[in-house]
Amino acid sequence: MAYLQFLGAAETVTGSKHLINTSNDPSGRNGLQVLIDCGLFQGAKQWRLKNWEPTPVPATQIDAVILTHAHLDHCGWIPRLVKEGFRGKIYATPPTIDLCHVVLPDSGHLQEEEARFHNQKNTSKHKPALPLYTLEEAEKSLLNFEPVNFGETKQLSADFSFRFVHAGHILGSAMVEVFRQQGSQRHKYLFSGDIGRVPDHVPTPGRVVSRGPETQEDPEILVMESTYGNRSHPQDDVRDEMAQLINDTVTRGGSVVVPAFAVERTQKFLFILKELMESGRIPRVPVFVDSPMAIKAVEICMKYTAEFNEEAQHLVSAYGSPLTWQGFTFAIKQEDSKKINQVLYPCIIVSSSGMVTGGRVLHHLLHRLPDPRNLVMFIGFQAPGTRGAIIKSRADSVRIFSGEVPIRAQIAALEQFSDHADTSELLRWMRTFKKQPSATYLVHGENGAAWLLQKAISEELGWKVSIAKWLEKVPLA
Ligand SMILES: [Zn+2]
């Protein structure tokens, strides 16, 4: 009997990996074994340690990976899968592949830096500490990628095909419709990946991609994210709160640190920042975009402007490429990054990683967190257990580079920037389905969020829905 097995993002928000086995034996020899997403576990140590374990199914026996989008919790384990002997194809949309060309080598670079740091400071029980994968290994894994356009049906075997449809989450993000032929019966399963804000009659604040999530779906089985299953996003315009926070910080002589995913999220934030400056709502303080991949990231976003909504397209045509803006500095080299520490007048620093799990934002926070004049402004989801979540919770201190750093700066979180649908938006999207799936499995959510969403779905829609458990196998009818 064919089955689906949850190898990640089950009972947690990271490490997305869902295995489809179409054969009737666990080795997959009589059919296909396909992974939907291959993400990195981030956050709590119990999950992060799983990055070091081999997949429960040997990488050599997996035939293909179908990737929903370029966030690390969905694609960041791909280089490790290839390192462990995976030789199949990785299918993704063209923008997702472009983004992976930036994101995966950067992730490899960060893994190497981390290992180097532990070896220098002797802070790992492993001698020597090794990277999960290197920059070179990440680059090598890119050779396995093959583009598949939205709406195109890709046949992987006589009885297995799939199609990407718009998810509306980030640039290139897709849901995967999987089709399996069993005799004369054609089964359809839908893997949501991450689901973007569901548009209303008023433009959803912070939303940039123009299309998705696709409506009128009719899968037998739905595997759906539940990141914000217990939340409702503010509906007001983010610009008012953002301007107020920046003005207050600059008035008291402080600087703003914005941890942000380097690709897309950073560019979206920059355009809003530029608009606030041009309209005179905030002063023209220097802006530093501190990421080794900053320029490439801008180039990818400018290549796909047609994918953006009308408002974002208007900003692009009004202001052109962020690379040309006066007062905006893109730090590429490590030395440029370090120099930002010497800036004593108010400035705005946008730096990755978005959940403060690594990257250059660490040294900016080390430097700026202890000063109450400064502001740390979160514009993205912070998975529990990450440094970002600890800072956002306004704890007394946070561990950075093996030392405790006091948190005295002001902390703010602008939830309007979220790229995830909230509970009411998810329900609104599900109400567009042509028919009720026979089973719905919730993944990619902490237990509380998944549990509340499960309750809302069964009470309001009457659907059969359960929370996926790590390593659980469910039959595919
Ligand atoms: Zn995502």
Nearest to 440 by CA among 415, 421, 413, 467: 467
Please report, in tens digits, the pLDDT of each residue of the chain (477 residues total): 899 999 998 888 889 999 999 986 666 677 899 999 999 998 888 888 999 998 889 999 999 999 999 999 999 999 999 999 999 999 999 999 999 999 999 999 989 988 988 888 777 778 788 999 999 999 999 999 999 999 999 999 999 999 999 999 999 999 999 999 988 999 999 999 999 988 765 555 567 788 889 999 999 999 999 998 888 888 888 899 999 999 999 999 999 999 998 877 888 899 999 999 999 999 999 999 998 887 888 899 899 988 888 888 888 899 999 999 999 999 888 899 999 999 999 999 999 888 998 889 999 999 999 999 999 999 988 988 899 999 999 999 999 988 999 999 999 999 888 888 999 999 999 999 999 999 999 999 888 899 999 999 999 999 999 999 999 999 997
Q: What pLDDT is attached to residue 356?
A: 94
Q: How many residues does the chain have?
A: 477
- pLDDT value, residue 201: 52
Residue 78 and residue 142: Cα distance in Å, rounded?
9
Who's near 152: CB < 8 A, 6+ residues apart? 163, 164
Distance of CA 74 from the midpoint of ligand 1 (Å): 7
Distance 95 CA to ligand 1 centre (A): 14
**CA–CA distance, 415 with 282 (Å, rounded to integer):** 20
CA distance linking residue 70 with residue 82, whole number of Å: 17
At residue 27, the pLDDT reads 67
- Ligand 1 centre to CA of 227 (Å) is 10
Q: How many A from CA of 157 to the centre of ligand 1? A: 28
Cα 147 to averaged position of ligand 1 atoms, centre (Å): 19
d(CA 96, CA 141): 14
191 bridge partner residues: 176, 223
Residue 80 Cα to ligand 1 midpoint, Å, equals 19
Q: At what angle do helices 294-303 and 265-278 cross, to 10 degrees?
A: 80
Our CA angle for 64, 135, 363, nearest 5°, is 125
Instruction: Transcribe 134-197 into DSSP letters.
Output: -HHHHHHHGGGEEE--BT-EEEEETTEEEEEEE--SSTT-EEEEEEEEETTEEEEEEE--S--P
Cα 166 to averaged position of ligand 1 atoms, centre (Å): 13
Burial letters 184-222, b for 16+ CB under 10 A, else e: eeebbbbbbbbbbbbbeeeebbbbbbbebbbeebebbbb
Which amino acid would we find at residue 123? T
Measured between alpha carbons, how far is 335 from 271 in angstroms, rounded to an integer?
26
Distance 123 CA to ligand 1 centre (A): 31
**Model pLDDT, residue 28:** 64
Q: How far is the CA of 443 from the centre of ligand 1 (A)?
A: 13
User: Within a 13 Å sphere around the CA of 296, how many CA atoms are in the beta-carbon half?
Assistant: 14
Q: How far is the CA of 213 from the centre of ligand 1 (A)?
A: 13
Ligand 1 centroid to residue 176 C-alpha, Å: 14
CA of 69 to the centre of ligand 1 (A): 7
Q: Which of 128, 127, 54 is nearest to 85 (CA)?
A: 54
Provide the 3-class DSSP secondary structure of residue 42: coil
Distance 169 CA to ligand 1 centre (A): 7
Q: Which of 220, 233, 174 lies closest to 441, judged by CA? A: 220
CA 280 to ligand 1 centroid distance, Å? 33
- Residue 196 Cα to ligand 1 middle (Å): 9
Span from the CA of 415 to the centroid of ligand 1 (angstroms): 15
- DSSP structure class, residue 450: H
Instruction: Read off the DSSP letter of residue 305.
Output: G
Q: Which residues face 224 on adjacent strands?
A: 442
Token representation of residue 477: 């009818």
Rounded to the nearest whole angstrom, what is the distance from the C-alpha of residue 170 to the centroid of ligand 1?
A: 7
Q: How many CB atoms lie within 10 A of CB 39?
A: 26
> How far away, in angstroms, is 156 Cα from ligand 1 center?
25
Q: Are 191 and 167 in contact (CB under 8 A)?
A: no
How does DSSP classify residue 405?
E
Question: Kindly report the CA angle at 272 between 271 and 278, in degrees rounded to 5?
Answer: 90
Cβ atoms of 11 and 443 closer than 8 Å: no
Q: Is the pTM of this model over 0.85?
A: yes
| Distance (Å) from CA 470 to ligand 1 centroid | 19
194 C-alpha to ligand 1 centroid (Å): 5
Query: How far does residue 239's CA lie from ligand 1's centre (Å)?
Result: 23
> Distance between CA 268 and CA 305 in Å, rounded?
12
| C-alpha span between 299 and 243 (Å, rounded) | 27
- Residue-level pLDDT at 183: 87
C-alpha 458 – ligand 1 centre gap (Å) = 25
Q: 365 near 356, Cβ under 8 Å?
A: yes
> What is the distance in A from the centroid of ligand 1 to the CA of 120?
33
Distance from residue 73's CA to the centre of ligand 1 (Å): 7
